[in-house]
C-alpha cells in the first residue's frame, strides 16, 4: 500500500492561525500513540491538531535517506545515531549514562538522573517518535500480567483484562502489520479469536536460533514448584513478511510500504538488514510515520512541528483543560522561539511516559492522587554472552528472530520477576560493541592481519551468542519522574528528573537469569564469556553478586490507570480523573509492564481510548434538546 505523506504537511499549518481554531482534539506527540489517535479521530470526521517537538520536516524518502546517511557516517552507532539532535527538543541518549554518586544527580544530559540507579533509557524526538528506532518486537501481554496483585501479590492489577484488550490487540496488529503465526504465539494463556491469523506469516528463525534450538529445546526447568521445558520460539514482529491470505476471514492483508515512495526496493518484505534498531533502511519495519501519512491525508489533521509543549492550562472552576501553551522554535539548531497556544475540546498527551508527566508536573498539575510521575517502569536487561562450539553465522537476520518465552509467567512470580529471553542475531554488539571491538582487539592486541585476521573474525564473531534477559520491573511509587525549576532546557522547559532503583524482586529475577544462562551455555557446549564490570554505570549488586543492568527504553507507568481515582491517575479509557477533557495516553497508563515490549500494548490501549474520546466528543457537542411546554 502506497502511503503518501502530503507534501508540506509538516509546515503548512500556521501556528498563529491554528491558535484561532477550536480543534476537536489537540494531540501532543507525533509518535505511534498520537498518530493512531489522530488517524482514528479524523476518520470519524473530527478535526485534530498534532503538536510535535521534533523538526518540521515532511516524511519523505529523501528525509529518510538523510537519517540513513547520518547513521552510516556516525562513528558511534547508538540508537539515536540516525536522528538529528536538536538543542530545543533534546533527546536522552544511551551514551549519556554515567554512574551516579549518592546525593549528586547527574545533570550532564537532558534527562537528569538522581539515581541511585543510572539508566541508559532513551526516546526519540522526531516525527514518528521512538518507533523510528524501535526493534518492532510485538508481544502481547499475558492474561496474568493484568492481574499481578491478585494472582501473585506483586505489582498492581489492571482495571482491564486481557479479554478487554484482545480486540484492540487485533486492531493494533493490523495497523502495525505484524508477522507471526498463531501456533507459535498461543502460550501461557494467550488466546486468539477463533480463526484468527496474523496479517503476515511469521518470519523464519535465524540459523543461529536453530543451532541454539537443536540443543536447548526440551531443557527441563523447575521453578516455583512447576516443571517446564524450554524451547526456542519465534517472536511476533512489526515488520513486513509474507501476507497471510487467510487474514480477515480470507480477505488477505496488504502490507503498508515505505512512506512517500512506491514499493520498488523499499517498503516490501524485511530483507534481513540486521539493523531494526536504530533504523530499518528499507522501511520494512513499521514506524508511526506510516500511520501519520494516512492521517494527514484526511485533510482534518493539522500538524505543527518544532512545537514543544510548555504548559497545560486549566480552568480552575471546572478542572477542564483550556489550552496548551507551547514553544515553537524557529530552527532545530539555534535558539529563538515564540510562545503559541492550542485550543481544543479534548486534549491528548501522547508524548511518552517521561514527557507526559514532565509536562503535567511542569504545569503544576500533580494530580489529586499525588501519583503523577510515580511508578516509573522500564525493563531491566541482563545480558549473558558466550561462544558457540561451531560457526553460527551470527550478525544475520533481523536484530532478533527468536528467544525463550517459557518463563514469562508462572507461580514463581510470587517470589521473583519473570523474563523473556532474546537470542540476539547481532552477537555481542549490545554487551561489548561487537564486532568492531573484536576487530580492534584482533588487530591491535592480537597482531592479526591478512588470513589470520579473517580466521580470527570467523572464530570470534561468527560463533557469538548473546542472550538478553528482559526482566520485569514492577511499579514502585518511589521510582518516578519529577521536575525542578533548577533544571531547564534551552526553551525554558523543565527537564525530566528520573529517580530510579531496581527492586529486589527484579534483582531476584536477574540473579536467576544469570544462573539459567550458565545452564543454557553448558547444555549448548558454549564457552561462557560473560563478565560484569564493577565500573559499568548500571552495575548492581544483589546477594553478593554484581550484574550489569541496562535499560530497555520501554517507558511505562508514570500515570497509571485504575478504577479508583485515589490510587491512579487515569481511568481505564486513559482519561484523567482530575481533568475531564484530558487524556494521558501511552506506556504511562500501564499498571504493569509484564514481559512484553510495550509498543503493541500502547497501540491497543490508544485504539481502545479512541472509542471513549469519540463518545465524549459526541456527548459534549450534541445539540441540547430543549423541551418547550405548550
Partner 1 sequence: MTAPSFEEFLRLSVDLTAFGETELLGTGLARQYLAKVRAACGDEIVTALLDAHRAARTEAAGDAGDAGSLDGILLDRVLLDRALRHRIFSDDRLGPVARNVIKLWYAGMWYALPPEWTDRYGARAAGEASTVTAASYQEGLLWRAIGANPPGAKGPGYGSWAQPPRIEDRYLNGATK
CA-CA distance, 44 to 350, in Å (whole number)?
19
Q: Considering the complex, state which of residue 377 and residue 392 has its C-beta at the smaller distance from partner 1.
A: 392
Grid cell digits, residue 463: 560463533
Cβ proximity to partner 1: between 222 and 444 the closer is: 444
Length reported for the chain? 630
* 101/455 with CB nearer partner 1: 455
Element spanning 504, H or E: helix 504-524
What minimum distance in Å lies between the beta carbon of 298 and partner 1?
A: 32
Min dist CB 268 to partner 1, Å, is 8
Report whether 49 contacts 312 (CB < 8 A): no
Helices and strands, number each (H, E), in the chain: 15, 20
> Which is nearer to partner 1, 95 or 273 (by Cβ)?
273
Of the candidates 24, 105, 188, the one whose C-alpha atom is nearest the C-alpha of residue 619 is 24
Among candidates 333, 326, 305, which has minimal Cα distance to 55? 305
CA-based nearest residue to 556, from 349, 353, 350: 353
CB of 225 to partner 1, least distance (A): 37
Q: Shortest gap between Cβ of 473 and partner 1 (angstroms)?
A: 29
| DSSP secondary structure letters along 173-213 | HHHHT-B--HHHH--TT----TT---SBPPPPPPHHHHHHH
Query: Contact 54/305 with Cβ under 8 angstroms?
Result: yes
By beta-carbon proximity to partner 1, the closer residue of 183 and 443 is 443
Binding site for partner 1 (CB under 8 A): 68-69, 71-75, 77, 203-207, 210, 241-242, 269-275, 279, 281-282, 391-398, 401, 425-426, 435-436, 439-440, 443-444, 447, 449-455, 457-459, 461-462
- Minimal distance, residue 393 CB to partner 1, in Å: 3
Q: Which is nearer to partner 1, 448 or 575 (CB)?
A: 448
d(CA 587, CA 497) in angstroms, rounded, equals 18
Closest contact distance (angstroms) between CB of 459 and partner 1 is 5
Task: In angstroms, give the least distance from the CB of 80 to partner 1.
Answer: 14
Is the sign of the CA dihedral 598, 604, 605, 610 positive or negative? positive
Least CB distance from residue 430 to partner 1, whole Å? 12
Three cell numbers written together for 249: 476471514
CB nearer partner 1, residue 191 or residue 452:
452
Residue 137: other Cβ atoms inside 10 A: 23
Nearer to partner 1, 270 or 540 (CB): 270
Produce one character per residue of 451-490: b if its CB has 16 or more CB atoms within 10 Å, e if not. eeeeebeeebbbbbbbbbbbbbbbbbeebbbbbbeebebb
If the CB atoms of residues 77 and 320 are measured against partner 1, the closer one turns out to be 77
Helical ranges in 338-465 per DSSP H:
355-362, 429-432, 436-440, 450-461
When the beta carbons of 285 and 495 are compared against partner 1, the nearer one is 285
Query: By C-beta, is 452 or 615 nearer to partner 1?
Result: 452
Which residues on adjacent β-strands are paired with residue 466? Answer: 385, 424
CB 152 within 8 Å of CB 613: no
Burial 372-406 (b: 16+ CB within 10 A, else e): bbbbbbbbbbbbbbbbbeeebbbbbbbbbbbbbbb
526: helix, strand or coil:
coil
21-42 core/surface letters (b: 16 or more CB in 10 A; e: else): eebbbbbbbbbbbbbbbbbbbb
Of 302, 292, 307, nearest to 47 (Cα)?
302
**Closer by beta carbon to partner 1, 41 or else 266:** 266
Q: Are strands 497-500 and 539-542 parallel, antiparallel or unpaired?
A: unpaired
Q: 208 or 417, CB closer to partner 1? A: 208
Q: What is the DSSP letter of 444?
A: I
CB of 439 to partner 1, least distance (A): 5
Least Å from the CB of residue 491 to partner 1: 32
Of the two residues 72 and 262, which places its CB atom closer to partner 1 in the complex? 72
User: Least CB distance from residue 494 to partner 1, whole Å?
Assistant: 36
Choice between 6 and 257, CB closer to partner 1: 257
Q: Where are the beta strands (DSSP E) in 464-589?
A: 464-471, 480-482, 497-500, 527-528, 539-542, 545-551, 582-584
In the complex, what is the shortest distance from the CB of residue 68 to partner 1, in angstroms, rounded to a whole number? 7
Least separation in angstroms between residue 402's CB and partner 1 is 11
> In whole angstroms, how close is the CB of 270 to partner 1 at the nearest point?
6
**Contact in structure between 285 and 239 (CB atoms under 8 Å):** yes
**C-beta of 330: minimal distance to partner 1 in Å?**
29
Amino acid at each position: 500500500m502506497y502511503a503518501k505523506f502530503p507534501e508540506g504537511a509538516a509546515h503548512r499549518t500556521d501556528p498563529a492561525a491554528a491558535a484561532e481554531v477550536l480543534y476537536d482534539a489537540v494531540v501532543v506527540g507525533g509518535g505511534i500513540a498520537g498518530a493512531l489517535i489522530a488517524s482514528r479521530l479524523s476518520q470519524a470526521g473530527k478535526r485534530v491538531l498534532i503538536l510535535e517537538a521534533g523538526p518540521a520536516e515532511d516524511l519523505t524518502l529523501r528525509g529518510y535517506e538523510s537519517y540513513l546517511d547520518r547513521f552510516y557516517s556516525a562513528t558511534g552507532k547508538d540508537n539515536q545515531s540516525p536522528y538529528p539532535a536538536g538543542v530545543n527538543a533534546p533527546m536522552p541518549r544511551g551514551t549519556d549514562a554515567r554512574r551516579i554518586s549518592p546525593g549528586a544527580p547527574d545533570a550532564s544530559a537532558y534527562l537528569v538522573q538522581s539515581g541511585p540507579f543510572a539508566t541508559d533509557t532513551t526516546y526519540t524526538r522526531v516525527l514518528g517518535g521512538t518507533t523510528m528506532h524501535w526493534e518492532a518486537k510485538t508481544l502481547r501481554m499475558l492474561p496474568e500480567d493484568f492481574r499481578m496483585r491478585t494472582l501473585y501479590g506483586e505489582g498492581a492489577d489492571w482495571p482491564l483484562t486481557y479479554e478487554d484488550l484482545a480486540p484492540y490487540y487485533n486492531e493494533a496488529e493490523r495497523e502495525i502489520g505484524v508477522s507471526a503465526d498463531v501456533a507459535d504465539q498461543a502460550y501461557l494463556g494467550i488466546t486468539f479469536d477463533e480463526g484468527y491469523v496474523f496479517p503476515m506469516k511469521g518470519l523464519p528463525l535465524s540459523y543461529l536460533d536453530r543451532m541454539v534450538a537443536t540443543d536447548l529445546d526440551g531443557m527441563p526447568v523447575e521453578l516455583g514448584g512447576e516443571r517446564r521445558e524450554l524451547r526456542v520460539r519465534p517472536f511476533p514482529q512489526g515488520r513486513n513478511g509474507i501476507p497471510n491470505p487467510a487474514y480477515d476471514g480470507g480477505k488477505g492483508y496488504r502490507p503498508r510500504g515505505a512512506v512517500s515512495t512506491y514499493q520498488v526496493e523499499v517498503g516490501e518484505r524485511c530483507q534481513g538488514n540486521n539493523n531494526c534498531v536504530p533504523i530499518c533502511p528499507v522501511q520494512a519495519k513499521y514506524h508511526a510515520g506510516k500511520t501519520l501519512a494516512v492521517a494527514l491525508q484526511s485533510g482534518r489533521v493539522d500538524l505543527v512541528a518544532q512545537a514543544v509543549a510548555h504548559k497545560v492550562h486549566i480552568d480552575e472552576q471546572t478542572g477542564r483543560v483550556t489550552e496548551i501553551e507551547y514553544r515553537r522554535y524557529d530552527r532545530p539548531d539555534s535558539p529563538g522561539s515564540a510562545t503559541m497556544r492550542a485550543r481544543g475540546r479534548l486534549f491528548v498527551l501522547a508524548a511518552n511516559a517521561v514527557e507526559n508527566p514532565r509536562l503535567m508536573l511542569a504545569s503544576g498539575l500533580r494530580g489529586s492522587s499525588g501519583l503523577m510521575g510515580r511508578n516509573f517502569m522500564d525493563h531491566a536487561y541482563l545480558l549473558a554472552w558466550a561462544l558457540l562450539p561451531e560457526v553460527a553465522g551470527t550478525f544475520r537476520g533481523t536484530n532478533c528472530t527468536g528467544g525463550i518465552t517459557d518463563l514469562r509467567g508462572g507461580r514463581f512470580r510470587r517470589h521473583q520477576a519473570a523474563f523473556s529471553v532474546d537470542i540476539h542475531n547481532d552477537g555481542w554488539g549490545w554487551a561489548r560493541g561487537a564486532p568492531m571491538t573484536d576487530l580492534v582487539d584482533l588487530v591491535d592486541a592480537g597482531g592479526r592481519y591478512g588470513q589470520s585476521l579473517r580466521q580470527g573474525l570467523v572464530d570470534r564473531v561468527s560463533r557469538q551468542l548473546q542472550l538478553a534477559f528482559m526482566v520485569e520491573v514492577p511499579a514502585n511509587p518511589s521510582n518516578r519522574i519529577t521536575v525542578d525549576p533548577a533544571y531547564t532546557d534551552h526553551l525554558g522547559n523543565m527537564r525530566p528528573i528520573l529517580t530510579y532503583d531496581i527492586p529486589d524482586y527484579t534483582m531476584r529475577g536477574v540473579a536467576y537469569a544469570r544462573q539459567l544462562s550458565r545452564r543454557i551455555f553448558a547444555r549448548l557446549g558454549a564457552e561462557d564469556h560473560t563478565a560484569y564490570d564493577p565500573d559499568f554505570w548500571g552495575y548492581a549488586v544483589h546477594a553478593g553478586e554484581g550484574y550489569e543492568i541496562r535499560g530497555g527504553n520501554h517507558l511505562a507507568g508514570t500515570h497509571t490507570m485504575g478504577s479508583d481515582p485515589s490510587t491512579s491517575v487515569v481511568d481505564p479509557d486513559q482519561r484523567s480523573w482530575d481533568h475531564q477533557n484530558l487524556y494521558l495516553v501511552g506506556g504511562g497508563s500501564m499498571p504493569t509492564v509484564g514481559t512484553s515490549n510495550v509498543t503493541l500494548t500502547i497501540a491497543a490501549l490508544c485504539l481502545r481510548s479512541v472509542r471513549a474520546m469519540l463518545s465524549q466528543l459526541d456527548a459534549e457537542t450534541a445539540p441540547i434538546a430543549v423541551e418547550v411546554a405548550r
